Amino acid sequence: MARAAVSAVPPRAWLEGPCPRCQAGWRCPAGDAQRPACRACGAPASALAHALVDAGGALRGCLHCGHDQMYAARDFPRRLGLAVVIAAAALAPFTYYISLAAGALVDAGLVFLVRKRVHCYRCGAVHHGFARPQVWAPFRLEVADVHRFGSKASVVAALRPGAEPPAARRQD
Ligand SMILES: [Zn+2]
Ligand SMILES: [Zn+2]
């Protein structure tokens, strides 16, 4: 299987998301040519849009569905955060509760250390390990509503027909 020789997809970037037909999870390296076929319902594999990765390894749109409205979120390791909280609480009686403050600090530090991932509003694909995820704004409920409810979303009434919801595109 030959892969495109020139690709700006960062080598360790990977994707995950719900199956477009049955919502079962899939994941694959972002450099793969296709999203794998669904193991649960057999939905066929689909090509990944590597052209949407710019020369610097940042995303211009969703590699899975091609949509250009996405949001960035922290890739926070929840189990690790929870383990810190539990350890801090367990140690509290022996450390004059200093461990609680230390645990809070560690948690805050984790939030800044972990990289952001980029989510597609339309298909739910999550992009891990790409460059400059901060070009995408954080999650906006009104944008998600437009994708979930279409013309029934409350924000659509406030926009002129055909207008796109605000602030969901790449902000360089
Ligand atoms: Zn499926
Ligand atoms: Zn998508």
Which amino acid is residue 63, in one-letter code? L
Arithmetic mean of pLDDT, 105-121: 82
Alpha carbon distance 111, 121 (integer Å):
23
- Checking if the pLDDT of 87 tops 70, the result is yes
Residues with CB under 5 A from ligand 1 (ion): 19, 21-22, 24, 38, 40-41, 43
- pLDDT level of residue 155 (50, 70, 90 thresholds): low
Phi, psi of 27 (to 5 degrees): -150, 150
For residue 167, what are the contacts with CB-CB under 8 A and spacing of at least 6? 137, 140, 143
Strand 116-120 versus strand 34-35 pairing type: unpaired
Q: Would you give the DSSP letter of residue 160?
A: P
Return the pLDDT at 151.
66
Alpha carbon distance 65, 125 (integer Å):
8
| Distances in whole angstroms, Cα of residue 120 to Cα of each of 15, 44, 69, 125 | 11, 20, 6, 5
Q: What is the pTM of this model?
A: 0.72
- Checking if the pLDDT of 2 tops 50, the result is no
Measure 118 CA to ligand 1 centroid, in angstroms: 22
- Each residue of 61-80: pLDDT tens digit? 999 999 999 999 986 677 88
